[in-house]
Structure 1
Amino acid sequence: MKELVILSGKGGTGKTSITASFARLAERPVIADCDVDAADLHLVIPPTIRERHIFMSGHQAVVMEEVCCNCGVCLPECRFGAIMEPAPEAGHDTFWIDPTACEGCGVCLETCPMDVIEFPERRCGEWMISDTACGPMVHARLGVAAENSGKLVTTVRQQARRIAEEAAHPLILVDGPPGIGCPVIASITGATDVLLVTEPTLSGAHDLERVLALTRHFGIPAAVCVNKWDINPEITEHIEALAHKSGARVVGRVRYDPSVTRAQIQERAVVDTDCPSADDIRAIWKELALQ
């Protein structure tokens, strides 16, 4: 079983559109949307949700205001400024904790002389298993101001791998998050292949260098494609030379094509339309030779 992770150094390079097209071209794939901070693969591959699960991670301190003595011992101990002074006009007659500022460190729990602070698990979002026209999809939604996106990414990948193993699916397609941070590391650890989607700009070249360094660090074979290559052919050639120098394989180019936006509006993958860039994506898929 192979696992292809589609990444980019920044958002908006076209990786979700390419992932959706690959899902249409692949034979019996399992699809995983690991861009949990801003999941959008479901907008191009409409899912029918059959399982929905709460994602709990970390803890959050909560003051039991009905028994708090208002001593304020906890206030100077919180380095994140999450403990707020009484605000009767907002319904808080005692010290209380701002849930968006609390980091779940537990120092207030240890310092409270009255033991009136609870420390429940924090609900950070949800993850789902859905059916699509391309195959099963595992996707998730991180809550507003929630953290632990790397852990949620790991959950999504674990579920996708479980489904693939149980039903003998030959390929997992992962729409990864942008950048090089924790969610990206959680997306590529243990993957067999990575496709890096970039665009012909100076920032695109810089971001590509960072992601290539990350894939080299983890020893994962990387391929590179340039989206909208024809808006700046000179930088496209520079990026491809950079990829070759870094040991990555250049697998193709995708031309600038306004029809891609129309396909997204219609909730269709690019390769399901007759737009010119569809042929470019098919050529890249053939060059990857994953099946």
Structure 2
Amino acid sequence: MREIVVISGKGGTGKTTVSAAFAHLAENSIVCDLDVDAPDLHILLDPQVQSAAPFMGGSEAVIRREACVDCGRCAQLCAFEAVRLRDGRHEVDPLRCEGCGVCVKLCPQQAIDFPEGHCGDWFVSETRFGPMVHAQLFPGKENSGKLVGLLKMEARRRAREQKRDVLLCDGSPGVGCPVIASLSGADAAVCVVEPTPSGRHDFARVADLCRHFRVPMAVIINKADLNDAEASAIEELCAEQGHTLLGRLPFDGAVTRAMVQKQALTETEGPLGDALREMWAKLMGMELGRSRGARA
């Protein structure tokens, strides 16, 4: 089974557009949306939810009124000023609590509980392109990396059980915790880049991350005709650093029309769909992750 993660140095580069097209082209695959903070692949794939489960993440302190003697020790210890007095009693403001657990450990009366919070929900669905595993983290909640790990574990399990050939993941933008979790164990990363100075800078950061985790990287330059000089500079970087250039995509209003119709670009007629088909074929022709050992 090949595990491919589509990533980008920033949001809005066209990562999900490419992911949807590849999901359409991939045969015998399972799709996984790992952008749990702001998922949008479901908009194009229109999944029919088969099962849903809560995601329990970061803990928050809760004072048990019956055990608390209002000594104020928790308020003195809290670095985030999350403990406050209300009507003469101490309570924890959940919007300020960072879940560090200091008050829980050092409360003289052991009067503070530390339950896990409901941080979001994750789903297993069916789409016209096959099974899909995805999630939605609630606004402001933490542990997106942990949720990404959970989704990948579930997607891999189902892929093995169903003997799927490809696990295609739509990753998060940037280089933070959820991206690191997305790259863990992947056979290849496809980086979608915009031809701008900031896009080239973000691309370099993502390339460093992939190099650190020894994940081979292929590159798609999106909207390449808007800045030919920057597109050429990115191509030179790919050649210097040994990344596979899958190709260039031009700026085209067909993308917006396809999005409005909830279609992948490869479901429509036009040069963009043809280009993405060629890129997918080139990606499938790469030796992916063989040096790190193939997974069954």
Q: Does the alignment reach a TM-score above 0.5?
A: yes
CA distance in structure 2 between the aligned counterparts of 1:240 and 1:100, rounded to whole angstroms:
46
Q: 1:180 aligns with which of 152, 170, 175?
A: 175
Structure 2 equivalent of residue 23 of structure 1: 23
Q: 1:220 aligns with which of 215, 219, 230?
A: 215
CA distance in structure 2 between the aligned counterparts of 1:63 and 1:161, rounded to whole angstroms:
40
Structure 2 equivalent of residue 168 of structure 1: 163
* Secondary structure of residue in 2 paired with 1:36: coil
* Secondary structure of residue in 1 paired with 2:56: strand
Give the paired residue count. Answer: 286
Structure 2 equivalent of residue 140 of structure 1: 135
**Residue 67 (structure 1) shift:** 5.1
Identify if the C-alpha distance between structure 1 residues 94 and 290 changes in structure 2 by more than 3 Å, giving closer, same or farther.
farther
Contact residue 230 and residue 256 of structure 1 kept, 8 A:
yes
In structure 2, the gaps of 5 or more residues are 287-296
CA distance in structure 2 between the aligned counterparts of 1:63 and 1:275, rounded to whole angstroms:
61
**Residue 57 (structure 1) shift:** 2.1
Structure 2 equivalent of residue 199 of structure 1: 194
Q: 1:279 aligns with which of 270, 274, 277?
A: 274
TM-score of the pair, normalised by structure 1: 0.94
CA distance in structure 2 between the aligned counterparts of 1:81 and 1:264, rounded to whole angstroms:
45
* Secondary structure of residue in 2 paired with 1:271: helix
CA distance in structure 2 between the aligned counterparts of 1:101 and 1:187, rounded to whole angstroms:
29
- Opposite residue 101 of structure 2, the aligned amino acid is G
Structure 1 equivalent of residue 294 of structure 2: none
Matched, 1:121 2:116: yes
* Secondary structure of residue in 1 paired with 2:186: coil
**Residue 73 (structure 1) shift:** 1.5
**Residue 281 (structure 1) shift:** 1.4
**Residue 66 (structure 1) shift:** 5.4
Structure 2 equivalent of residue 9 of structure 1: 9
CA distance in structure 2 between the aligned counterparts of 1:205 and 1:85, rounded to whole angstroms:
51
In structure 1, the gaps of 5 or more residues are none
Deviations 1:239-284 (A, max 9, x none): 1101111110111111101121121121111111124322221121
**Residue 158 (structure 1) shift:** 0.6
Moved over 4 A (4+): none
Structure 1 equivalent of residue 250 of structure 2: 255
**Residue 290 (structure 1) shift:** 5.3
- Opposite residue 227 of structure 1, the aligned amino acid is N
TM-score of the pair, normalised by structure 2: 0.93
CA distance in structure 2 between the aligned counterparts of 1:100 and 1:173, rounded to whole angstroms:
36
